[in-house]
Structure 1
Amino acid sequence: MWVGIGFALAAGMLWGLVFVGPLLLPDYPAALQSFGRYLAFGLIALPLAWLDRGELGRLHRSDWIEALKLALIGNLLYYLFLASAIQRAGAPLPTMIIGTLPVVIAISANWRNRERDGMLPWPRLGPALILIALGLACVNQVEMSALAAQGSDGNTRYLSGAALAIGAVACWTWYPLRNADWLRAHPDRNPRAWATAQGLVTLPLALTGYIGFWAWLIIDGNPMPMPFGPRPEVFIGLMVSIGLFASWLGTLCWNEASQRMPTAVVGQLIVFEMLAALTYAFIWKEQWPDALTLTGIGLVLAGVLSALRIKPVRRVSSEPRR
């Protein structure tokens, strides 16, 4: 159990790095960061594909199409929304919104899979959702107060950033549910090979997007130097680092934790990602969070952990026994 918790903590600390990238590269468009990150991840997946070549050979055309959908929405589109949100609203609020993912996924599964997995009782789930809403309101109040002197343009950027963060939540709510559906429908397949397959299909998607964005910059007359922007050493180093540590090593640590602990326990530990991301953001800003922000973080954390402790209840059939 303790080894599993250590792996989950390591995964959260590695995944938190993806929230820092947009802060380190504010002069790079979010689309370029998204395509760059997953181009690096796709290249890293190539040697892994050789190790899983036997399992990958068993996949059918429909499986590759499903992997393509998962890679497009769960990888490229998710990070495009997230990077755009952080550049527009700063790191704290998008991080808090992403931190609600375990509960949002639980609610979605409550409706979508209620016949298969049972339902979380709404009366018990309600207080947790209230805690999360109050926590987000606290952080939102702090950020809005900081933008008060910037006028309507600052407020507009902040609100658009919050909307993009919600879009990122939508992408990563759809992804694990759809991914779990495929894994359950193919219990004889290797989950590691399935992850490798998604990395492989990410590579051509990211490469196409990268070239397409480069062409759009030329057509638009944008003076940004390409192919690696105004700070190529920083950009390449950061993309490779995030692709290696967050996309590959972070997932590896999470899989190790999942093998050692019950799913109901390890699912709660995804909050390490939110805490790591907030820590990195405040270190980058060289300031301590104020009391209201800390209160908001505590409320969201309490709400997420409270909701994830609720066990699903299967509906009892009302038909009389014969």
Structure 2
Amino acid sequence: MVADRSLMKGAVYGVCAGLCWGVIFLGAELTPGLSGLQLAVLRFLCYGAISAVLLMRRWRRVCTPLTLEDWKSLFWLSLIGNLIYYSLVGTGVQWVGIATTSLIVGLIPVLVTLAGRHDANAVPLRKLFPSLCCAMGGVVLISWHALSSDDGLNTLTNLFGILCAFGALVTWSWFAVSNARRLIKVTRVSSHDWALLTGIMTGAQSLLLAVPVLGFQGSQHGLAEWLDFLWVAGGVALLSSVVGGACWNQASRLLPLALSGQVLVIETLAALVFGFLWEHRLPDGHELSAIALLLTGVVWCLNVHRAPQRSSTA
């Protein structure tokens, strides 16, 4: 019974994280004047500033239990899972659209599940094969749909966007697995404080990139434009990075790795809903088919894992 409550609580935290993260795809559409890297730097500067303010009074107490290995982990998690990942997401959205980017990134639950197949409560790969085929089929379909254009230049643009989306898929899958395993070892730091420490580290990295990435673009945009960019970046930082990051860290501690990635399908669904609302349209036939295949794969994968979990709980 205690294990069931823990799983339910972890699932709720994971769903909340997915809903918060759905807006990151929309953020790139709201800032067409910035590149993916520029938006990432601006967002994580805001994330770092918010995190520093929230952690300022407790800085010494929170940092005391951390080891050099923990700080190294924070550095790489921040660089790969935040800066590089969101630069790729933003570029993918601007080049190939929210629907295609979010559906490709929607394979994260599958990759995380594969990474955790040797952990506790994992199931054999042969039982996961049908769900993997469904999820991959959805991604192949949406990628083919994006590339099936008569315009050669547009096809190259879409191809570049798809490659960025796959890069985002790989980088955040690595982050999800590495962060979950590090949180198991960092027991004296809360999930919320770990998210704030990640924010401070990412903010410091963004500060080093601010001048070369943003400084030389200052004259290209007026004050009103920069204020709009700052509002969007600050909103995404607060909702997705601070709130979403804390929820995800808590979910990572409560759920087995094989299950934690499955709730991220909520991020894909939220991103698709936000994207279609922003574009004032309904999904076309290819997009609906891809969504159905991806959801079928993820739900199938989740159901396969539920039986071993129930047996372990019993």
Which of residues 298, 302, 313 in structure 2 aligns to 1:304? 298
Partner of 2:229: 235
Partner of 1:100: 107
**Contact 2:25/2:90, CA 8 A, preserved across alignment:** yes
CA distance in 1, matches of 2:92, 2:296: 24
CA distance in 1, matches of 2:68, 2:13: 34
- When the two chains are superposed, the root-mean-square deviation of aligned CA atoms in Å is 2.8
CA distance in 1, matches of 2:9, 2:80: 32
Partner of 1:320: none
Which residues of structure 1 form unaligned runs of 5+?
Answer: 314-322
**Contact 2:121/2:256, CA 8 A, preserved across alignment:** no
Which of residues 35, 42, 63 in structure 2 aligns to 1:36? 42
Q: One-letter code of the match for 1:78?
A: Y
Q: Structure 1 residues 7, 55: CA separation in 2 closer, same or farther (over 3 Å shift)?
A: closer
Partner of 1:288: 282
Partner of 1:49: 55
CA distance in 2, matches of 1:277, 1:77: 19
Partner of 1:319: none
Partner of 1:70: 77
Q: One-letter code of the match for 1:164?
A: C
Q: Structure 1 residues 257, 189: CA separation in 2 closer, same or farther (over 3 Å shift)?
A: closer
**Contact 1:8/1:254, CA 8 A, preserved across alignment:** yes
Query: Which of 53-62 and 10-19 deviates more?
Result: 53-62
Q: Structure 1 residues 253, 122: CA separation in 2 closer, same or farther (over 3 Å shift)?
A: closer
Count how many residue pairs are aligned between Structure 1 and Structure 2: 300
Is 1:126 the counterpart of 2:132 in the alignment? no
> Which one has a bigger Cα radius of gyration?
1
Is 1:61 the counterpart of 2:68 in the alignment? yes
Partner of 1:12: 18
Shift, 1:309, TM fit = 3.1
Identity across aligned pairs (percent)? 27
Which residues of structure 2 form unaligned runs of 5+?
Answer: 309-314
Structure 1 counterpart SS, 2:174: helix
Query: Which of 22-31 and 73-82 deviates more?
Result: 22-31
CA distance in 2, matches of 1:7, 1:175: 18
CA distance in 1, matches of 2:211, 2:67: 28
Matches within 5 A, 1:55-204: 55-110=62-117, 114=118, 117=120, 120-145=123-148, 148-149=149-150, 151-204=151-204
Shift, 1:31, TM fit = 1.1
